[in-house]
Chain A
């Protein structure tokens, strides 16, 4: 009798396991926030771009080794200095059923140029000219070296779907940041997933689009249930207890725990978000002196911070952009040398040091408060007394802009995935009209640096461009224009059967469409 029961039990178990192996794969995904809107042009942020990759497809996209792979554009060639021709993929359908053609690309780029967040990035673009239904020419005002980089931000939207007026009499294509809009709650893209349920801040369900064009993709996830879990500990607990299958980001204090756990795994990668500190030359005459700035850089123990505070989850930085980027120069490494720092201070005439103020956010970057405190401690060793004030990010940025302190902490990640972007915002001479140096609270201004960065924008020979940007980094390094700490690591974790290693990349845009769950 027992044997019979056991056999039945076995059969049931086997049948159930077959049921779960074949058939629909569902991924339960937990991030720290969900998309603020279904309209990809409403906000330029990591979260919205991650969403765009799920529901839309770009013309081209970055591969893991920072090259471009064709997506909705199958081929591209330079027609002349100002024009790049893109051949579009045929037979692609939008979620609404409409077909993807050249007019959708033109419509999307026009909308990008109107969007508050994207218009700055697309300023060098004149627009799109339609050659035929499956060929477009993208035209720029001057020769633009980052055209392909920007093509990764062009996610063609269904122009027909978004044309007309909605139930409230508003145009369907309106980009509305602070109120309801059609595009806020409705989407039609070419991406692998369609949004079938949306409760903002609670749950968003993505179902696979049956007519998705990329049949060669290995991805086998048919449904993604995205729930935001803000609290770091709860997110990790949800993964460890099996309530979710994939989490991002992962708090560094839980790396060990996930590595040790039986059912989960951690994938970490060096990122491109640099954490730096700016020394305000206008507020503090001492910072105008190059020797003082250099002394501060020599007094900064990058290794120590990465080891003790970041627990190894960061990569020390001596320059702005990490390896793989155009301006990276392997010779520019961190240079901690306390003796040299003291000697430099003496040479500058500040052997007895001075007092100054510093501000830092406490909930924006990983361990930002602790890094600031450690840095203040390091400066005390060369007799610079730092009065540090930390605050939440909601209050920090206004104070940063008002330059209320002599030393201010800021992290930066380039939207263009390119070296020049760092300098454009952080170290070019502040100029209210052009917008350059918008976050240059150190007021560092070097005409040669500006000249090189502006030249790099129109230099289409990539080797020449690289040399220019490397020179920029070298000048900034020698001048000790700012103090670099490290690049924050990116991290993702999932259950053992979720093959996340192959879909994550240094831009932090996991390509969920290609995800395989075993």
Chain B
């Protein structure tokens, strides 16, 4: 039977080799990113401040502080500290947080669920809101509703996210008492993942932060989908589909929308990075105990180990997300795969 379809198995073998090369390239990319980020992080470490100041009281003598610095290895030359760090990192040890007195990876992983849930919920809001509105605005560009949403979206993108957050708190929490003003509420521990999504209280706490965070990206996505969709609707094959007599729903949602998605996915992947960066501001206002809040506190405390570890983790996250975006893009648009072969 094998001899009957040699071409089929030949293609499969080529597929496998392609995937293998692809994965190796991506992993190398991740390692290079981590090295560059960690080097930069280390280089500015000395400018960030002295973590020992935060650990000891004001009246502690200079001699004591120096002794502590020696103990922490902060007085060694830069290269020595960096090499030590890279060696440890290869074993999965990204250092110890001065403040939390725990391995940095442990701290980051314990705070990650909070941020990931927030980003996930914001992403959900963005998808669920921008897609219908974007499609509608593309199909009926002159309607009042479309013009209204375009106008409001500009307001959303101009107001800084922390201001949006505080406004939301004051309106919905202080004045109306509808929603809680801070924190994650009740969380359930699922094998180490502190989840707030599974409790009603947790969901209530998730609403305002997600809205605040999504307000940055929402206007962008609505406009992007609208613009792309309008362009796609002008193309030849859509005109052909109309001519064929396909139902409106099929034309809009199956043919037009699928092709709109391609640039949106690419942009989305990049914007995810910006979203993660804005979690720092949003989490601070809502006292949301996620990675962003942890990062800001680490900067204020000069908890340099935690800082550098966070930068590396986020760097890896970016690489992973962009890889996924590329894969998804390849799946959605078969032409990429074929041309890639050449």
A: residues with CB less than 8 A from B are 36, 43-45, 116-117, 120-121, 176-181, 184, 200-202, 227-231, 233-234, 237-238, 240-243, 363, 392, 394-395, 397-398, 401, 415, 425, 432, 435, 438-439
Contact = CB atoms under 8 A, between A and B. Distances in A.
A229 B183 CA distance: 9
Nearest to A435: B61
B69 to A, nearest CB: 11
Given A240-B174, A394-B300, A394-B302, A120 B60 contact: yes
A116 B64 contact: yes
B57 interface: yes
Given A117-B57, A178-B72, A397-B53, A234 B286 contact: yes
A395 B49 contact: yes
Contact of A36 (B96, B99, B166): B99
Interface of B: 47-50, 53-62, 64, 68, 71-72, 96, 98-102, 166, 169-170, 173-174, 177, 180-183, 284-287, 289, 294, 297, 299-302
A439 B53 CA distance: 14
A120 B63 CA distance: 12
Contacts of B68: 116, 177-178
B60 A117 contact: yes
21 contacts: A43-B56, A45-B57, A117-B59, A178-B55, A178-B71, A179-B96, A201-B294, A201-B297, A228-B287, A234-B181, A234-B287, A237-B170, A241-B174, A241-B180, A243-B173, A394-B301, A395-B47, A395-B48, A398-B53, A438-B61, A439-B58
Main secondary structure of the interface of A (DSSP, over half): loop
B166 A233 contact: yes
Contacts of A44: 57, 59-60
Contacts of B62: 401, 432, 435, 438
A184 B300 contact: no
Contacts of B183: 227, 243
Contacts of A180: 101-102
A178 B98 contact: yes
Contacts of B173: 237, 241, 243
Given A177-B68, A237-B174, A394-B53, A227 B48 contact: no
Contacts of B100: 200-201
A406 to B, nearest CB: 22
A402 B260 CA distance: 59
A116 B294 CA distance: 27
Contact of A394 (B49, B59, B102): B49
A184 B98 CA distance: 13
B56 A179 contact: no
A125 to B, nearest CB: 16
B180 A230 contact: no
B20 to A, nearest CB: 43
Contact of A241 (B72, B101, B166, B177): B177
A237 B169 contact: yes
Contact of B287 (A45, A176, A184, A230): A230
Contact of B300 (A120, A178, A392): A392
B48 A394 contact: yes
A120 B100 CA distance: 25
Given A178-B96, A243-B181, A395-B47, 6 more contacts: A43-B55, A178-B98, A179-B96, A202-B289, A395-B49, A425-B59
A407 to B, nearest CB: 20
A227 B181 CA distance: 13
Given A237-B169, A415-B59, A242 B297 contact: no
A228 B32 CA distance: 38
A165 B180 CA distance: 44
A234 B48 contact: no
Q: Which 10 pairs of residues, A with B, have the shortest CB-CB distance?
A: A394-B49, A44-B57, A117-B57, A241-B173, A241-B181, A237-B181, A241-B174, A240-B174, A394-B302, A229-B287
Given A116-B64, A180-B102, A237-B170, A43 B181 contact: no
Contacts of B289: 201-202
Nearest to A184: B101
A408 to B, nearest CB: 15
B266 to A, nearest CB: 35
Nearest to B53: A397
- Of listed A227, A241, A398, residue having the most chain B CB within 10 A: A241
Contacts of A234: 166, 169, 181-182, 285-287
A117 B59 CA distance: 7
Most buried by B among A179, A229, A234, A240: A234
Contacts of A238: 181-182
A241 B55 CA distance: 34
Contacts of B286: 234
A173 to B, nearest CB: 17
A201 B100 CA distance: 9
A252 to B, nearest CB: 18
A306 to B, nearest CB: 24
A437 to B, nearest CB: 12
A178 B182 contact: no
A259 to B, nearest CB: 15
Nearest to A261: B174
A401 B47 CA distance: 16
A428 to B, nearest CB: 13
Contacts of A432: 62
Contacts of A179: 96, 101
Contacts of B300: 363, 392, 394
A440 to B, nearest CB: 13
Contacts of A177: 55-56, 68
Contacts of A438: 59, 61-62
A71 B50 CA distance: 39
A229 B169 CA distance: 14
Given A227-B287, A234-B285, A43 B49 contact: no
Contacts of A237: 166, 169-170, 173-174, 181-182
A43 B100 CA distance: 14
A17 B166 CA distance: 33
B60 A116 contact: yes
B101 A231 contact: no
Contacts of B60: 44, 116-117, 120
Contacts of A227: 182-183, 287
A231 B297 CA distance: 11
Contacts of B170: 237
Contacts of B57: 43-45, 117, 415
A230 B102 contact: no
Contacts of A36: 99
B163 to A, nearest CB: 10
Contacts of B55: 43, 177-178
Most chain B CB within a 10 A radius of its CB, from A36, A45, A230, A394: A394
A242 B99 CA distance: 31
Contacts of A117: 56-57, 59-60
Contact of B284 (A231, A243, A395, A425): A231
Contacts of A231: 284-285, 287
Nearest to A432: B62
Contacts of B182: 227, 229, 234, 237-238, 243
A502 to B, nearest CB: 27
A117 B170 CA distance: 41
